[in-house]
Structure 1
């Protein structure tokens, strides 16, 4: 792998994103398979904040469903970023279908084994979009590095 194709330079460049990915993966598994909805504790606070926002002339289109979808995007953005950062240049794009596949596995598992959790295709779409954004960030970073570093001849 050429140094210009890596997010991190030097001898540690391969294990840093992989180590972060392993830690993130554990957190993601805990979130995905927690027995109760992960937003159960904060749902009332979010509802109260939205009610206050709407009562005080706030943007009416901001609702709980939007916040939940954006949370799913934010949850899987690091997945796309870390998986893409761990792969060689020609394979970085695989982080997107991997994110979608992992999301499908999570949603199916929630639907089969966690009666208090809600499994939806909207979550899969939001998670896939988050993974795709992470990959785009990696490609943008690499493009920036390529255009700012002189090529050795």
Structure 2
């Protein structure tokens, strides 16, 4: 969405993500997650979200994550997603991500990273965004303490406050 419509964006916040091309190895944590997602017999979305959090989720929140998936036939997209992430340079998705980096490397509008301090999957991913995107230079990038992969669950209010502050300042 961002790269295909770059002119429509006035600023960008990225959080707990990365844009791999397969030219550098994926983290061990990601590879474990990828293998798990393919092989686990019961792909329980609510439990998976819980595993990516540092805080305990309430039962109704877990139920809400499970609600769109009445049975396993509805979970194939979520299950296959990690396998679509390029982990080798010749992966079919690698070139699309290289093309995305070309576009982003020219993005001069305000761009910040907001990563948690406790996400083993994307840990360190912020450095490439900060280094390669011109709009990320001289920005106040944020590390949210106490958050796992799902910042909206672990640190939702702080996450939202930081986004609102970034918007109001840029």
TM-score normalised according to structure 1 size: 0.31
* Structure with higher helix content: 1
TM-score by length of 2: 0.28
Greater Rg by CA: 1
Structure with more strand by fraction: 2
